[in-house]
């Protein structure tokens, strides 16, 4: 396993933390924490095998957060001197004094053991920033050519995002952690142009973003060469496919599509700050309110969902969160019933739920930590049920793969989702692609219609780099694992008809 970058370890993190935390104590803070962060991100984009854009940015800064007389205070900066760190503590306390009059309830934090001198590095083999840009460009061009050389493909888009995140955390309780994680998101899209009618069709690779390094692009964890070799034929079938007839169908949904439905209808809905109304203006609240804990029938008895910030290669996985909490795996839905929420230390204390489950995160040193999503995942069946088994039990249905557009209301209840490709199921057999499909439901009706889940061999860890939350807005990466699953009697829309075209 890689070690933490020596250049980050050479920064005077301990000295800066001591200056900030000592000054916060002197000013009467009952809690203070310090972060030194370095975030590096790069984006490489090709259009038809030619370089269209390249960026490589680094952000380095420090942040101080305090609880003073029951109110939060926060300040951040870029000057890396003890004097500057102490001034940030002063600014954070001053902010707390101003905000105290706006706070109806004093801030309390759930207890957490001290974790002193801990380090953690994510599971990857090759830091993508150590691969020369020309080599990264060559690999994307090579993979693009697989698509460009195929009949029926008119344009090819290739995009690679890579991130390297370093964090040093220290607080007045004595916790000190140093961490490093890497993640990559490769994406390829083939486009077919209808020159007669002026339209176009596209199909994207199903490879999810992953908490891996450059090895992901060269065969570890995903076979991009094999997937892209199949994509042109699938696109050609999609172009010629008939439009779906709206109605009610049984759906077998592949993990490459179902992860996004999990994200929107379970992941966001079970953030406790959202359920309590703290997250309301930007992205809504939640129908899964706290009074329903332990009683809400979220879905069918085969529905078991966990939150996990420790799973290998998870985009939200970390050793310790941005409040110094050791991360864990925890239950959210058991046998279809809501049994838990995602928590930070404030939310856990507010409702007497014991320890936080490690869901605090800030996307930069310039932002205060928010309660953010764990890797929220639907658990597979313990038996060996395959996708073919699920399809084999359907008389009239649709098999759904890949994510595309989606819509959900502010309480995470009414939604619709589309996808990359769809196959009719007739008498337990796939019967060719259809197009213009969207499935629509309420959250509890949809998960209540889940009749079966696949076994472990159908399980895939999907996810996204761009989960948004908060004001000012913050972006976090998060994974969602799931097996394939069967849903009965779901409403299917024809997107062309719904669009009035």
What confidence score (pLDDT) does residue 197 get? 80
Convert the pLDDT of each residue in 62-93 to its tens digit.
999 999 999 999 999 999 999 999 999 999 99
Instruction: Give tens-digit pLDDT for 318-348.
Output: 999 999 999 999 999 999 999 999 999 999 9
What per-residue confidence (pLDDT) applies to 195? 84
What pLDDT sits at residue 362?
98
Instruction: Of 143, 145, 327, 149, give the one whose Cα is nearest residue 219.
Output: 143
Q: Is residue 121 within 8 Å of 2, Cβ to Cβ? A: yes
Q: How far is CA 320 from CA 12, 191, 310, 345, 419, in A?
A: 20, 42, 9, 13, 35
The DSSP symbol for 331 reads: E
Q: Which whole number is the average pLDDT over 251-259?
A: 98
CB 473, CB 191: distance < 8 Å: no
Q: For tokens 């692009």, what's the residue? A: 217
Q: Which string of DSSP letters, residue by residue, matches 434-501?
A: EBSEEEEEEHHHHHHTEEEE--GGG-EEEEEEEEEETTTTEEEEEEEEE--EEEEEEEEEEHHHHTT-
Residue 500 has pLDDT above 90, yes or no: no
What distance in Å separates the CA atoms of residue 323 and residue 173, rounded to the nearest whole number?
11
pLDDT digits (tens, 9 = 90+) for 108-154: 999 999 999 999 999 999 999 999 999 999 999 999 999 999 999 99
Q: Model confidence over 434-493: pLDDT tens digits?
A: 999 999 999 999 999 999 999 999 999 999 999 999 989 999 999 999 999 999 999 999
Measured CA angle at 39 (ends 473, 280), to 5 deg: 15
H/E stretch holding 228 reads helix 224-240
Q: Is the pLDDT of residue 298 over 90?
A: yes
pLDDT over 80 (residue 224): yes
Is the whole model's pTM more than 0.85, yes or no?
yes
Asked if the bond preceding 472 is cis, omega within 30° of 0, the reply is: yes
Helix (H) or strand (E) holding 68: strand 50-68
**SS3 assignment, position 332:** strand
> Does the pLDDT value for residue 279 go beyond 90?
no
pLDDT, residue 139, reads 98
Give the whole-angstrom CA distance, residue 477 versus residue 314: 9
Q: How many angstroms from the chain centroid is the CA of residue 444?
A: 22
**Average pLDDT of the chain to the nearest whole number:** 97
| pLDDT band, very low/low/confident/very high, at 198 (cuts 50, 70, 90) | confident
282 pLDDT more than 80: no
Report the candidate in 171, 238, 164 with the shortest Cα–Cα distance to residue 204: 238
Cis peptide before 11 (omega within 30 of 0): no
Q: What superfamily does domain 6-240 belong to in CATH?
A: PmbA/TldD superfamily (3.30.2290.10)
Residue 70 host element (H or E): none
pLDDT at 501 over 80: no
Q: How far is CA 315 from CA 34, 184, 310, 386, 476, in A?
A: 23, 9, 10, 26, 9
pLDDT surpassing 80 at residue 314 = yes
Nearest CA among 449, 501, 477, 365 for reference residue 61: 365
Tokens representing 470 are: 């908060």
Report whether 357 contacts 330 (CB < 8 A). Answer: yes
DSSP letter, residue 215: G
Nearest to 62 by CA among 24, 88, 93: 88
CA distance 185 to 483: 21
Structure-block tokens of residue 163: 């991130």
Mean of the pLDDT values across residues 180-193? 98
For a pLDDT cut of 90, what percent of the chain falls above it? 94
What are the tens digits of pLDDT across the range 96-105?
Answer: 999 999 888 8
Q: Tell me the per-residue pLDDT of 373-395, one tens digit each, with 9 for 90 and over.
A: 999 999 999 998 999 999 999 99
Query: pLDDT for 1-21, tens place per residue?
Result: 789 999 999 999 999 999 999
**Gap between the Cα atoms of 236 and 400, Å rounded:** 17
Q: What is the pLDDT of residue 452?
A: 98
- 167 — pLDDT class (breaks 50, 70, 90): very high
Domain locations in the chain?
6-240, 247-498
């Amino acid at each position: 396993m890689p070690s933490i970058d020596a250049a980050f370890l050479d920064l005077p993190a301990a000295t800066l933390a001591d200056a900030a935390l000592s000054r916060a104590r002197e000013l009467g803070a009952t809690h203070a924490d310090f972060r030194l962060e370095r975030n590096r991100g790069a984006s490489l984009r090709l259009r038809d095998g030619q370089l269209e854009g390249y960026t490589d940015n680094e952000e380095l800064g420090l942040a101080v957060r305090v609880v003073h007389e029951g109110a939060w205070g926060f300040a951040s900066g870029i000057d890396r001197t003890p004097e500057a760190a102490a001034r940030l503590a002063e600014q954070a306390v001053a902010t707390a004094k101003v905000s105290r009059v706006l706070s109806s309830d004093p801030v309390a934090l759930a207890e957490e053991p001290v974790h002193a001198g801990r380090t953690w590095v994510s599971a990857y083999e090759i830091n993508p920033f150590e691969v020369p840009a020309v080599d990264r460009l060559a690999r994307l061009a090579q993979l693009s050519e697989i698509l460009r050389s195929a009949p029926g493909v008119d344009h090819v888009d290739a995009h690679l995002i890579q991130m390297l995140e370093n964090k040093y955390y220290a607080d007045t309780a004595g916790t000190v952690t140093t961490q490093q994680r890497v993640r990559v998101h490769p994406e390829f899209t083939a486009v077919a142009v209808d020159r007669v009618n002026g339209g176009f069709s596209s199909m994207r690779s199903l490879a999810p973003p992953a908490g891996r390094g450059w090895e992901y692009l060269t065969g570890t964890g995903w076979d991009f060469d094999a997937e892209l070799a199949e994509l042109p034929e699938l696109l050609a079938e999609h172009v010629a496919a008939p439009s779906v007839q709206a109605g009610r169908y049984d759906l077998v949904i592949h993990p490459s599509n179902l992860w996004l439905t999990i994200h929107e209808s379970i992941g966001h809905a079970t953030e406790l700050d959202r359920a309590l109304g703290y997250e309301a203006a930007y992205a809504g609240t939640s129908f899964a309110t706290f009074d329903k804990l332990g009683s809400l029938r979220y879905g069918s008895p085969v529905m078991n969902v966990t939150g996990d910030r420790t799973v290998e290669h998870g985009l939200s996985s970390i050793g310790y969160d941005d409040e110094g909490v050791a991360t864990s795996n925890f239950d959210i839905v058991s046998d279809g019933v809501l049994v838990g929420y995602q928590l930070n230390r404030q939310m856990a204390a507010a409702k007497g739920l014991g320890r936080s489950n490690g869901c605090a995160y800030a996307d930069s040193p310039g932002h205060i930590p928010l309660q953010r999503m764990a890797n929220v995942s639907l658990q597979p069946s313990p038996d060996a049920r395959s996708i073919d088994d699920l399809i084999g039990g359907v008389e009239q249905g649709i098999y759904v793969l890949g994510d595309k557009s989606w819509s959900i209301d502010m309480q995470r209840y009414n939604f619709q989702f589309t996808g990359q490709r769809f196959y009719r199921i007739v008498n337990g057999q796939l019967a060719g692609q259809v197009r213009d499909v969207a499935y629509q439901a309420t959250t509890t009706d949809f998960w209540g219609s889940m009749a079966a889940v696949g076994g472990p061999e159908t399980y895939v860890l999907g996810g996204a780099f761009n989960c948004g939350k908060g004001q000012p807005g913050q972006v976090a990466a998060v994974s969602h694992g799931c097996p394939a699953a069967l849903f009965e009697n779901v409403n299917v829309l024809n997107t062309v008809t719904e669009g009035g075209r």
